[in-house]
Chain A
Amino acid sequence: MFPTTHLSAIAAGPAGFPRIVEAYWKPVYLYLRLQHRRSPEDASDLTQELFARAWERESFASFDPAKGRFRTFLRTLVDRLALNEREAATRLKRGGGIEHVSFDFASAETEVAQPREALDPEELFARELVRSLMQQALDDLRTADGERFAIFEAYELSDDNLSYADLAQRFALPVTTITNRLAAARRELRRFALERLRSITTNDEEFRAESRRIFGS
Protein backbone atom coordinates (compact mmCIF):
# COMPACT_ATOMS: atom_id res chain seq x y z
CA MET A 1 0.00 0.00 0.00
CA PHE A 2 2.79 2.42 0.88
CA PRO A 3 6.11 2.67 -0.88
CA THR A 4 8.39 0.11 0.65
CA THR A 5 11.63 1.29 -0.91
CA HIS A 6 12.73 2.85 2.36
CA LEU A 7 12.57 0.14 4.89
CA SER A 8 12.74 0.60 8.58
CA ALA A 9 16.14 1.77 9.80
CA ILE A 10 15.30 0.32 13.19
CA ALA A 11 14.71 -3.13 11.76
CA ALA A 12 17.90 -2.71 9.68
CA GLY A 13 20.07 -2.90 12.81
CA PRO A 14 23.51 -1.23 12.75
CA ALA A 15 23.17 -0.23 9.10
CA GLY A 16 20.10 1.86 9.87
CA PHE A 17 21.59 3.49 12.92
CA PRO A 18 22.84 6.76 11.35
CA ARG A 19 19.42 7.31 9.83
CA ILE A 20 17.80 7.16 13.26
CA VAL A 21 20.36 9.52 14.75
CA GLU A 22 19.90 11.91 11.87
CA ALA A 23 16.14 12.06 12.45
CA TYR A 24 16.22 12.13 16.21
CA TRP A 25 19.23 14.06 17.44
CA LYS A 26 17.56 17.44 17.24
CA PRO A 27 14.26 16.47 18.88
CA VAL A 28 16.33 14.83 21.62
CA TYR A 29 18.48 17.92 22.08
CA LEU A 30 15.49 20.28 22.15
CA TYR A 31 13.65 17.98 24.50
CA LEU A 32 16.58 18.02 26.90
CA ARG A 33 16.78 21.80 26.71
CA LEU A 34 13.05 22.51 26.94
CA GLN A 35 11.66 19.70 29.04
CA HIS A 36 14.60 18.82 31.26
CA ARG A 37 15.92 22.37 31.32
CA ARG A 38 19.48 21.23 30.73
CA SER A 39 22.19 23.70 29.78
CA PRO A 40 23.31 23.74 26.12
CA GLU A 41 26.53 21.92 27.09
CA ASP A 42 24.71 19.29 29.11
CA ALA A 43 22.07 18.79 26.45
CA SER A 44 24.58 18.31 23.67
CA ASP A 45 26.68 15.94 25.81
CA LEU A 46 23.64 13.91 26.78
CA THR A 47 22.38 13.77 23.20
CA GLN A 48 25.65 12.29 21.98
CA GLU A 49 25.81 10.11 25.06
CA LEU A 50 22.37 8.71 24.35
CA PHE A 51 23.22 7.61 20.84
CA ALA A 52 26.72 6.42 21.72
CA ARG A 53 25.28 4.21 24.44
CA ALA A 54 22.49 2.98 22.22
CA TRP A 55 25.12 2.03 19.65
CA GLU A 56 27.33 0.27 22.16
CA ARG A 57 24.57 -1.60 23.93
CA GLU A 58 22.53 -2.10 20.78
CA SER A 59 19.51 -0.80 22.68
CA PHE A 60 17.53 -0.04 19.54
CA ALA A 61 17.75 -3.66 18.51
CA SER A 62 16.08 -4.62 21.78
CA PHE A 63 13.10 -2.43 21.00
CA ASP A 64 9.94 -4.49 20.82
CA PRO A 65 7.33 -2.93 18.50
CA ALA A 66 4.60 -4.92 20.22
CA LYS A 67 5.17 -2.87 23.35
CA GLY A 68 4.71 0.58 21.88
CA ARG A 69 6.09 3.19 19.56
CA PHE A 70 9.73 3.69 18.90
CA ARG A 71 9.34 7.41 19.49
CA THR A 72 8.03 6.77 23.01
CA PHE A 73 10.71 4.19 23.67
CA LEU A 74 13.42 6.63 22.69
CA ARG A 75 11.93 9.39 24.80
CA THR A 76 11.94 7.05 27.79
CA LEU A 77 15.64 6.44 27.20
CA VAL A 78 16.22 10.21 27.16
CA ASP A 79 14.23 10.70 30.36
CA ARG A 80 16.12 7.92 32.08
CA LEU A 81 19.47 9.27 31.00
CA ALA A 82 18.62 12.83 31.98
CA LEU A 83 17.29 11.88 35.37
CA ASN A 84 20.08 9.55 36.26
CA GLU A 85 22.78 12.02 37.30
CA ARG A 86 25.12 9.38 38.63
CA GLU A 87 25.20 7.53 35.35
CA ALA A 88 25.43 10.74 33.40
CA ALA A 89 28.59 11.58 35.32
CA THR A 90 30.40 8.59 33.94
CA ARG A 91 30.21 9.51 30.30
CA LEU A 92 31.18 7.02 27.70
CA LYS A 93 33.48 8.29 25.06
CA ARG A 94 31.55 8.76 21.90
CA GLY A 95 32.12 6.84 18.76
CA GLY A 96 30.60 3.98 16.88
CA GLY A 97 27.46 4.70 14.96
CA ILE A 98 27.41 8.44 15.44
CA GLU A 99 30.79 9.28 13.93
CA HIS A 100 29.32 10.19 10.60
CA VAL A 101 26.34 12.17 11.81
CA SER A 102 26.86 15.89 12.10
CA PHE A 103 25.27 17.35 15.17
CA ASP A 104 24.73 21.03 14.54
CA PHE A 105 24.01 21.93 18.14
CA ALA A 106 24.64 25.61 17.52
CA SER A 107 21.85 25.75 14.95
CA ALA A 108 19.57 23.66 17.15
CA GLU A 109 20.25 26.09 19.96
CA THR A 110 18.82 28.95 17.90
CA GLU A 111 15.51 27.03 17.90
CA VAL A 112 15.33 26.81 21.68
CA ALA A 113 14.16 30.39 22.14
CA GLN A 114 11.47 30.18 19.44
CA PRO A 115 7.89 30.56 20.66
CA ARG A 116 6.09 27.28 21.11
CA GLU A 117 2.75 26.06 22.23
CA ALA A 118 2.97 24.65 25.77
CA LEU A 119 2.77 20.88 25.51
CA ASP A 120 3.14 17.87 27.74
CA PRO A 121 6.43 15.96 27.39
CA GLU A 122 5.08 13.34 25.00
CA GLU A 123 3.53 15.96 22.75
CA LEU A 124 6.55 18.21 22.93
CA PHE A 125 8.84 15.43 21.79
CA ALA A 126 6.43 14.36 19.04
CA ARG A 127 6.06 17.93 17.79
CA GLU A 128 9.81 18.43 17.61
CA LEU A 129 10.19 15.16 15.76
CA VAL A 130 7.57 16.23 13.21
CA ARG A 131 9.26 19.60 12.88
CA SER A 132 12.61 17.98 12.33
CA LEU A 133 11.14 15.58 9.76
CA MET A 134 9.50 18.41 7.87
CA GLN A 135 12.72 20.42 7.93
CA GLN A 136 14.54 17.49 6.40
CA ALA A 137 11.76 16.90 3.88
CA LEU A 138 11.97 20.57 2.88
CA ASP A 139 15.71 20.17 2.39
CA ASP A 140 15.04 17.09 0.25
CA LEU A 141 12.56 19.12 -1.76
CA ARG A 142 15.07 21.91 -2.30
CA THR A 143 17.76 19.48 -3.39
CA ALA A 144 15.43 17.70 -5.79
CA ASP A 145 14.37 20.78 -7.76
CA GLY A 146 15.50 24.29 -6.89
CA GLU A 147 13.01 26.24 -8.95
CA ARG A 148 10.04 24.20 -7.88
CA PHE A 149 11.12 24.67 -4.29
CA ALA A 150 11.40 28.43 -4.80
CA ILE A 151 7.79 28.56 -6.05
CA PHE A 152 6.63 26.43 -3.16
CA GLU A 153 8.60 28.54 -0.70
CA ALA A 154 7.16 31.78 -2.03
CA TYR A 155 3.63 30.42 -1.83
CA GLU A 156 3.57 28.25 1.29
CA LEU A 157 6.40 29.45 3.45
CA SER A 158 6.36 33.21 3.15
CA ASP A 159 4.01 35.63 4.84
CA ASP A 160 3.44 37.57 1.62
CA ASN A 161 0.10 35.98 0.70
CA LEU A 162 0.99 35.86 -2.96
CA SER A 163 -1.62 34.82 -5.50
CA TYR A 164 -0.95 32.38 -8.34
CA ALA A 165 -0.90 35.39 -10.65
CA ASP A 166 1.76 37.10 -8.50
CA LEU A 167 3.86 33.95 -8.66
CA ALA A 168 3.35 33.63 -12.41
CA GLN A 169 4.71 37.13 -12.80
CA ARG A 170 7.62 36.65 -10.44
CA PHE A 171 8.77 33.40 -12.03
CA ALA A 172 7.76 34.37 -15.58
CA LEU A 173 5.69 31.22 -15.97
CA PRO A 174 2.06 30.60 -16.96
CA VAL A 175 -0.37 30.27 -14.05
CA THR A 176 -1.12 26.65 -14.93
CA THR A 177 2.58 25.82 -14.66
CA ILE A 178 2.65 27.49 -11.25
CA THR A 179 -0.29 25.47 -9.95
CA ASN A 180 1.14 22.28 -11.41
CA ARG A 181 4.51 22.88 -9.78
CA LEU A 182 2.84 23.64 -6.47
CA ALA A 183 0.80 20.46 -6.62
CA ALA A 184 3.92 18.49 -7.51
CA ALA A 185 5.86 20.12 -4.68
CA ARG A 186 3.18 19.19 -2.15
CA ARG A 187 3.11 15.64 -3.40
CA GLU A 188 6.89 15.40 -3.25
CA LEU A 189 7.06 16.96 0.19
CA ARG A 190 4.62 14.38 1.42
CA ARG A 191 6.62 11.61 -0.20
CA PHE A 192 9.91 12.80 1.33
CA ALA A 193 8.36 13.19 4.75
CA LEU A 194 6.79 9.73 4.57
CA GLU A 195 10.04 8.14 3.41
CA ARG A 196 11.88 9.63 6.35
CA LEU A 197 9.10 8.65 8.66
CA ARG A 198 9.07 5.11 7.36
CA SER A 199 12.75 4.74 8.03
CA ILE A 200 12.32 5.64 11.69
CA THR A 201 9.31 3.47 12.42
CA THR A 202 9.51 -0.23 13.05
CA ASN A 203 6.70 -1.75 11.07
CA ASP A 204 3.74 -0.95 8.88
CA GLU A 205 1.37 -0.49 11.75
CA GLU A 206 3.55 2.02 13.54
CA PHE A 207 4.28 3.80 10.29
CA ARG A 208 0.60 4.21 9.55
CA ALA A 209 -0.21 5.35 13.04
CA GLU A 210 2.54 7.97 12.87
CA SER A 211 1.64 9.16 9.38
CA ARG A 212 -1.96 9.46 10.48
CA ARG A 213 -0.76 11.57 13.35
CA ILE A 214 1.20 13.86 11.12
CA PHE A 215 -1.03 14.10 8.07
CA GLY A 216 -4.34 13.25 9.63
CA SER A 217 -4.76 10.24 7.40
Chain B
Amino acid sequence: MRWIPDAQLELLTRSAAVPELIADRYQIVDTIGAGGMGVVYRAEDTALRRTVAIKVIDADESEARVLAKLEHPGIVPVHDVGLLPDGRVFYVMKLVDGTTLADFRGSLAERLRVFARICDAVAFAHSRGVVHRDLTPRNVMVGAFGETVVLDWGLAHGDARGGTRGFIAPEGQLDERSDLYSLGAILQFLVGNEATPPLRAIARKATAPEPTARYASARELGEDVLRYLDAAPVRAHRYTPFETARRWIVRNRVIVGLIAAYVAMRVAAAVFLH
Protein backbone atom coordinates (compact mmCIF):
# COMPACT_ATOMS: atom_id res chain seq x y z
CA MET B 1 0.00 0.00 0.00
CA ARG B 2 1.50 3.27 -1.05
CA TRP B 3 2.37 5.92 1.50
CA ILE B 4 0.47 9.17 0.95
CA PRO B 5 2.31 12.20 2.36
CA ASP B 6 0.23 14.87 4.15
CA ALA B 7 0.40 17.36 1.29
CA GLN B 8 -0.57 14.75 -1.28
CA LEU B 9 -3.40 13.54 0.92
CA GLU B 10 -4.82 17.04 0.88
CA LEU B 11 -4.43 17.32 -2.90
CA LEU B 12 -6.06 13.96 -3.40
CA THR B 13 -9.09 14.69 -1.26
CA ARG B 14 -9.46 18.08 -2.88
CA SER B 15 -9.17 16.57 -6.31
CA ALA B 16 -11.72 13.88 -5.50
CA ALA B 17 -14.09 16.54 -4.19
CA VAL B 18 -14.10 18.50 -7.45
CA PRO B 19 -17.64 18.17 -8.70
CA GLU B 20 -18.55 16.67 -12.03
CA LEU B 21 -20.34 19.76 -13.04
CA ILE B 22 -22.89 19.66 -15.69
CA ALA B 23 -19.87 19.33 -17.85
CA ASP B 24 -21.01 21.32 -20.82
CA ARG B 25 -21.78 24.57 -19.14
CA TYR B 26 -19.50 25.23 -16.17
CA GLN B 27 -15.80 24.47 -16.11
CA ILE B 28 -14.03 24.55 -12.80
CA VAL B 29 -10.94 26.75 -12.89
CA ASP B 30 -9.67 26.54 -9.35
CA THR B 31 -10.66 26.50 -5.71
CA ILE B 32 -11.36 29.86 -4.11
CA GLY B 33 -12.12 28.73 -0.62
CA ALA B 34 -12.94 25.73 1.46
CA GLY B 35 -14.37 25.54 4.90
CA GLY B 36 -16.59 23.51 7.12
CA MET B 37 -19.52 24.56 5.01
CA GLY B 38 -18.47 23.51 1.56
CA VAL B 39 -16.10 24.41 -1.19
CA VAL B 40 -16.24 27.42 -3.48
CA TYR B 41 -14.76 27.14 -6.94
CA ARG B 42 -13.99 29.71 -9.56
CA ALA B 43 -15.56 28.50 -12.79
CA GLU B 44 -16.19 29.56 -16.33
CA ASP B 45 -19.76 29.75 -17.45
CA THR B 46 -19.17 28.74 -21.06
CA ALA B 47 -22.68 29.65 -22.17
CA LEU B 48 -22.53 33.25 -21.00
CA ARG B 49 -18.74 33.48 -21.16
CA ARG B 50 -18.24 34.91 -17.74
CA THR B 51 -16.47 33.85 -14.60
CA VAL B 52 -18.70 32.74 -11.75
CA ALA B 53 -18.34 31.29 -8.29
CA ILE B 54 -19.76 27.84 -7.69
CA LYS B 55 -20.42 26.62 -4.21
CA VAL B 56 -20.81 22.92 -3.60
CA ILE B 57 -22.43 21.99 -0.38
CA ASP B 58 -24.12 19.19 1.44
CA ALA B 59 -27.47 20.85 1.94
CA ASP B 60 -31.07 20.86 1.00
CA GLU B 61 -31.73 22.00 -2.53
CA SER B 62 -34.93 23.76 -1.53
CA GLU B 63 -32.99 26.07 0.75
CA ALA B 64 -30.69 27.03 -2.08
CA ARG B 65 -33.76 27.87 -4.10
CA VAL B 66 -35.05 30.11 -1.34
CA LEU B 67 -31.71 31.86 -1.38
CA ALA B 68 -31.90 32.28 -5.14
CA LYS B 69 -35.08 34.26 -4.65
CA LEU B 70 -33.43 36.85 -2.40
CA GLU B 71 -32.85 39.81 -4.62
CA HIS B 72 -31.10 42.64 -2.88
CA PRO B 73 -28.02 44.71 -3.71
CA GLY B 74 -26.41 43.53 -0.48
CA ILE B 75 -26.95 39.81 -1.09
CA VAL B 76 -24.86 37.83 -3.53
CA PRO B 77 -26.99 36.99 -6.58
CA VAL B 78 -27.53 33.30 -7.29
CA HIS B 79 -27.73 32.48 -10.99
CA ASP B 80 -28.33 28.76 -10.90
CA VAL B 81 -29.00 25.93 -8.47
CA GLY B 82 -28.74 22.23 -9.08
CA LEU B 83 -28.05 18.78 -7.78
CA LEU B 84 -24.85 16.85 -8.47
CA PRO B 85 -25.01 13.14 -9.26
CA ASP B 86 -23.63 12.36 -5.80
CA GLY B 87 -26.37 14.24 -4.02
CA ARG B 88 -24.55 17.44 -3.22
CA VAL B 89 -26.12 20.75 -4.08
CA PHE B 90 -24.28 23.32 -6.15
CA TYR B 91 -25.22 26.87 -6.71
CA VAL B 92 -23.74 29.29 -9.15
CA MET B 93 -23.23 32.79 -7.88
CA LYS B 94 -21.86 36.05 -9.07
CA LEU B 95 -18.12 36.14 -8.50
CA VAL B 96 -17.78 39.17 -6.27
CA ASP B 97 -14.66 41.27 -6.70
CA GLY B 98 -13.26 43.14 -3.76
CA THR B 99 -11.84 42.51 -0.35
CA THR B 100 -13.47 40.76 2.53
CA LEU B 101 -14.52 42.91 5.42
CA ALA B 102 -11.72 41.32 7.41
CA ASP B 103 -9.20 43.08 5.16
CA PHE B 104 -11.18 46.21 4.49
CA ARG B 105 -9.37 49.44 5.33
CA GLY B 106 -11.35 52.66 5.43
CA SER B 107 -12.12 55.53 7.75
CA LEU B 108 -14.34 54.84 10.74
CA ALA B 109 -17.24 56.55 8.98
CA GLU B 110 -16.73 54.39 5.87
CA ARG B 111 -16.62 51.25 7.94
CA LEU B 112 -19.79 52.24 9.75
CA ARG B 113 -21.57 52.94 6.48
CA VAL B 114 -20.52 49.50 5.21
CA PHE B 115 -21.83 48.04 8.44
CA ALA B 116 -25.18 49.78 8.01
CA ARG B 117 -25.44 48.22 4.53
CA ILE B 118 -24.79 44.78 5.98
CA CYS B 119 -27.59 45.37 8.48
CA ASP B 120 -29.84 46.39 5.62
CA ALA B 121 -29.11 43.18 3.69
CA VAL B 122 -29.60 41.02 6.77
CA ALA B 123 -32.86 42.81 7.61
CA PHE B 124 -34.09 42.12 4.10
CA ALA B 125 -33.20 38.43 4.32
CA HIS B 126 -34.88 38.16 7.72
CA SER B 127 -38.02 39.70 6.27
CA ARG B 128 -38.01 36.77 3.81
CA GLY B 129 -37.45 34.22 6.52
CA VAL B 130 -33.78 33.55 5.71
CA VAL B 131 -31.29 33.46 8.58
CA HIS B 132 -27.60 33.72 7.80
CA ARG B 133 -26.18 31.71 10.74
CA ASP B 134 -22.54 32.54 10.09
CA LEU B 135 -22.08 36.29 9.76
CA THR B 136 -18.39 37.09 10.01
CA PRO B 137 -16.10 39.69 8.39
CA ARG B 138 -14.93 36.92 6.04
CA ASN B 139 -18.42 36.49 4.65
CA VAL B 140 -18.79 40.09 3.58
CA MET B 141 -17.18 41.46 0.44
CA VAL B 142 -16.61 45.16 -0.06
CA GLY B 143 -16.12 46.35 -3.61
CA ALA B 144 -14.09 49.23 -4.95
CA PHE B 145 -17.04 51.63 -4.66
CA GLY B 146 -17.99 50.59 -1.15
CA GLU B 147 -20.68 48.24 -2.42
CA THR B 148 -21.23 45.59 0.17
CA VAL B 149 -22.29 42.03 -0.51
CA VAL B 150 -23.01 39.40 2.11
CA LEU B 151 -22.02 35.87 1.08
CA ASP B 152 -22.53 32.38 2.43
CA TRP B 153 -26.14 32.49 3.47
CA GLY B 154 -27.23 29.83 5.92
CA LEU B 155 -27.57 26.79 3.76
CA ALA B 156 -27.07 24.29 6.50
CA HIS B 157 -28.60 23.89 9.87
CA GLY B 158 -27.15 24.69 13.23
CA ASP B 159 -25.29 21.53 14.13
CA ALA B 160 -23.58 21.09 10.81
CA ARG B 161 -22.28 24.58 10.71
CA GLY B 162 -21.65 25.83 14.21
CA GLY B 163 -20.75 29.36 13.10
CA THR B 164 -17.42 31.06 13.55
CA ARG B 165 -15.79 31.44 16.92
CA GLY B 166 -15.94 35.01 18.20
CA PHE B 167 -18.96 35.81 16.04
CA ILE B 168 -21.36 33.09 17.04
CA ALA B 169 -24.09 33.82 19.56
CA PRO B 170 -23.84 31.96 22.87
CA GLU B 171 -27.28 30.38 22.53
CA GLY B 172 -27.42 27.05 20.75
CA GLN B 173 -30.34 27.73 18.48
CA LEU B 174 -29.44 29.99 15.60
CA ASP B 175 -32.14 32.41 14.55
CA GLU B 176 -32.58 36.06 13.67
CA ARG B 177 -31.50 37.22 17.11
CA SER B 178 -28.28 35.24 16.86
CA ASP B 179 -27.59 36.94 13.52
CA LEU B 180 -27.94 40.20 15.47
CA TYR B 181 -25.35 38.98 17.91
CA SER B 182 -22.96 38.26 15.05
CA LEU B 183 -23.64 41.72 13.62
CA GLY B 184 -22.76 43.23 17.00
CA ALA B 185 -19.52 41.24 17.03
CA ILE B 186 -18.76 42.48 13.50
CA LEU B 187 -19.39 46.05 14.66
CA GLN B 188 -16.94 45.54 17.51
CA PHE B 189 -14.42 44.13 15.06
CA LEU B 190 -14.86 47.05 12.66
CA VAL B 191 -14.65 49.74 15.28
CA GLY B 192 -11.72 48.20 17.12
CA ASN B 193 -10.04 50.58 19.49
CA GLU B 194 -11.74 53.60 17.94
CA ALA B 195 -14.92 52.83 19.85
CA THR B 196 -16.69 55.77 21.44
CA PRO B 197 -19.14 55.22 24.31
CA PRO B 198 -22.22 55.32 22.04
CA LEU B 199 -20.65 52.80 19.60
CA ARG B 200 -19.64 50.58 22.46
CA ALA B 201 -23.21 50.76 23.76
CA ILE B 202 -24.61 49.77 20.35
CA ALA B 203 -22.28 46.77 20.09
CA ARG B 204 -23.00 45.78 23.69
CA LYS B 205 -26.73 45.88 23.12
CA ALA B 206 -26.43 43.84 19.92
CA THR B 207 -24.28 41.22 21.64
CA ALA B 208 -26.30 40.98 24.85
CA PRO B 209 -26.09 37.40 26.14
CA GLU B 210 -29.87 37.35 26.51
CA PRO B 211 -31.32 37.32 22.97
CA THR B 212 -34.38 39.40 23.92
CA ALA B 213 -32.12 42.16 25.27
CA ARG B 214 -30.67 42.70 21.78
CA TYR B 215 -32.08 44.96 19.12
CA ALA B 216 -35.44 43.79 17.87
CA SER B 217 -34.20 43.71 14.27
CA ALA B 218 -31.18 44.22 12.06
CA ARG B 219 -32.89 47.29 10.71
CA GLU B 220 -33.02 48.88 14.18
CA LEU B 221 -29.36 48.10 14.70
CA GLY B 222 -28.41 49.62 11.34
CA GLU B 223 -30.52 52.68 12.04
CA ASP B 224 -28.83 53.24 15.36
CA VAL B 225 -25.43 53.18 13.64
CA LEU B 226 -26.67 55.64 11.02
CA ARG B 227 -27.94 57.87 13.83
CA TYR B 228 -24.46 57.80 15.28
CA LEU B 229 -23.02 58.81 11.91
CA ASP B 230 -25.47 61.73 11.85
CA ALA B 231 -24.41 62.62 15.39
CA ALA B 232 -27.99 61.99 16.50
CA PRO B 233 -28.60 60.25 19.85
CA VAL B 234 -28.31 56.47 19.56
CA ARG B 235 -30.90 54.39 21.34
CA ALA B 236 -28.51 52.08 23.08
CA HIS B 237 -26.63 54.76 24.97
CA ARG B 238 -27.50 57.04 27.88
CA TYR B 239 -25.68 60.31 27.30
CA THR B 240 -23.94 62.54 29.86
CA PRO B 241 -24.67 66.29 29.56
CA PHE B 242 -21.15 66.80 28.26
CA GLU B 243 -21.66 64.19 25.50
CA THR B 244 -24.99 65.75 24.60
CA ALA B 245 -23.37 69.16 24.25
CA ARG B 246 -20.52 67.78 22.21
CA ARG B 247 -22.87 65.84 19.97
CA TRP B 248 -24.95 69.00 19.51
CA ILE B 249 -21.86 70.89 18.49
CA VAL B 250 -20.80 68.19 16.02
CA ARG B 251 -24.27 67.95 14.57
CA ASN B 252 -24.61 71.71 14.20
CA ARG B 253 -21.01 72.28 13.32
CA VAL B 254 -21.80 74.67 10.46
CA ILE B 255 -23.85 76.96 12.68
CA VAL B 256 -21.42 76.55 15.55
CA GLY B 257 -18.59 77.37 13.16
CA LEU B 258 -20.38 80.48 11.88
CA ILE B 259 -21.16 81.66 15.40
CA ALA B 260 -17.58 81.02 16.46
CA ALA B 261 -16.27 82.90 13.44
CA TYR B 262 -18.66 85.74 14.12
CA VAL B 263 -17.65 85.95 17.77
CA ALA B 264 -13.98 85.77 16.83
CA MET B 265 -14.48 88.54 14.32
CA ARG B 266 -16.27 90.71 16.87
CA VAL B 267 -13.60 90.09 19.42
CA ALA B 268 -10.88 90.88 16.91
CA ALA B 269 -12.71 94.01 15.83
CA ALA B 270 -13.21 95.09 19.43
CA VAL B 271 -9.57 94.52 20.24
CA PHE B 272 -8.45 96.24 17.06
CA LEU B 273 -10.72 99.22 17.50
CA HIS B 274 -9.90 99.52 21.13
**Is B35 among interface residues, defined by CB-CB distance under 8 A?**
yes
Most buried by A among B3, B86, B87: B86
Neighbour of A217 across the interface among B5, B11, B56, CB < 8 A: B56
Binding site for B on A (CB under 8 A): 1-3, 104, 107, 110-111, 114-117, 127, 130-131, 134-139, 156-157, 183, 186-187, 189-191, 193-194, 208-209, 211-212, 214-217
Residues 3-38 of B, flagged 1 when their CB comes within 8 A of A and 0 if not, give 111101101111111101001000000000011101
Q: Bound state CA distance, A37 and B132, in angstroms?
A: 45
Could you tell me if A139 and B16 are in contact, using CB atoms closer than 8 angstroms?
A: no
Complex interface: chain B residues within 8 A of A111 (CB) = 3
Instruction: Give me 17 A-to-B residue pairs in the complex whose CB atoms sit less than 8 angstroms apart, sorted by A's number.
Output: A1-B87, A111-B3, A114-B5, A115-B6, A134-B4, A135-B4, A138-B2, A138-B4, A138-B12, A156-B15, A157-B2, A157-B8, A193-B13, A209-B160, A212-B58, A215-B16, A215-B17
Most buried by A among B12, B16, B56, B86: B16
Could you tell me if A208 and B160 are in contact, using CB atoms closer than 8 angstroms?
A: yes
Could you tell me if A189 and B88 are in contact, using CB atoms closer than 8 angstroms?
A: no
Complex interface: chain B residues within 8 A of A114 (CB) = 3, 5
Neighbour of A186 across the interface among B2, B15, B36, B87, CB < 8 A: B15
Could you tell me if B13 and A130 are in contact, using CB atoms closer than 8 angstroms?
A: yes
Q: Bound state CA distance, A2 and B58, in angstroms?
A: 10
Q: Bound state CA distance, A156 and B16, in angstroms?
A: 10
Could you tell me if A134 and B18 are in contact, using CB atoms closer than 8 angstroms?
A: no
New A-B pairs, 7, CB < 8 Å, besides A130-B13, A216-B14: A107-B1, A130-B9, A134-B9, A189-B15, A215-B16, A217-B17, A217-B57
Complex interface: chain B residues within 8 A of A183 (CB) = 20, 23
Q: Bound state CA distance, A197 and B51, in angstroms?
A: 34
Complex interface: chain A residues within 8 A of B11 (CB) = 156
Q: Bound state CA distance, A90 and B92, in angstroms?
A: 60
| Chain B contact residues, majority secondary structure | mixed
Residues 85-102 of B, flagged 1 when their CB comes within 8 A of A and 0 if not, give 011100000000000000
Could you tell me if B9 and A131 are in contact, using CB atoms closer than 8 angstroms?
A: yes
Complex interface: chain A residues within 8 A of B88 (CB) = 217
Q: Count residues of B near A (Cβ-Cβ below 8 Å).
A: 30
Closest chain A CB from B148 CB (angstroms): 27
Most buried by B among A115, A138, A208, A212: A212
Could you tell me if A215 and B3 are in contact, using CB atoms closer than 8 angstroms?
A: no
**Is B206 among interface residues, defined by CB-CB distance under 8 A?**
no
Q: Bound state CA distance, A3 and B38, in angstroms?
A: 19
Complex interface: chain A residues within 8 A of B160 (CB) = 208-209, 212
Neighbour of A135 across the interface among B2, B6, B13, B16, CB < 8 A: B2
Q: Bound state CA distance, A216 and B19, in angstroms?
A: 12
Closest chain B CB from A131 CB (angstroms): 6
**Is B39 among interface residues, defined by CB-CB distance under 8 A?**
yes
Could you tell me if A189 and B12 are in contact, using CB atoms closer than 8 angstroms?
A: yes
Could you tell me if A215 and B13 are in contact, using CB atoms closer than 8 angstroms?
A: yes
Q: Bound state CA distance, A115 and B18, in angstroms?
A: 27
Closest chain B CB from A183 CB (angstroms): 6
Could you tell me if A186 and B16 are in contact, using CB atoms closer than 8 angstroms?
A: yes
Closest chain B CB from A118 CB (angstroms): 11
Which partner residue on chain A sits nearest B85 by CB separation?
A: A187
Could you tell me if A217 and B20 are in contact, using CB atoms closer than 8 angstroms?
A: no
Could you tell me if A212 and B36 are in contact, using CB atoms closer than 8 angstroms?
A: yes
The 4 closest A-B pairs by CB, nearest first: A215-B17, A190-B16, A1-B87, A216-B34
Complex interface: chain B residues within 8 A of A194 (CB) = 86
Neighbour of B39 across the interface among A110, A189, A191, A217, CB < 8 A: A217
Could you tell me if B4 and A131 are in contact, using CB atoms closer than 8 angstroms?
A: yes
Complex interface: chain A residues within 8 A of B20 (CB) = 183, 187
Complex interface: chain A residues within 8 A of B4 (CB) = 131, 134-135, 138
Residues 57-98 of B, flagged 1 when their CB comes within 8 A of A and 0 if not, give 110000000000000000000000000001110000000000
Could you tell me if A217 and B38 are in contact, using CB atoms closer than 8 angstroms?
A: yes
Complex interface: chain B residues within 8 A of A215 (CB) = 13, 16-17, 39
Which partner residue on chain B sits nearest A116 by CB separation?
A: B6
Complex interface: chain A residues within 8 A of B57 (CB) = 217
Q: Bound state CA distance, A156 and B14, in angstroms?
A: 11
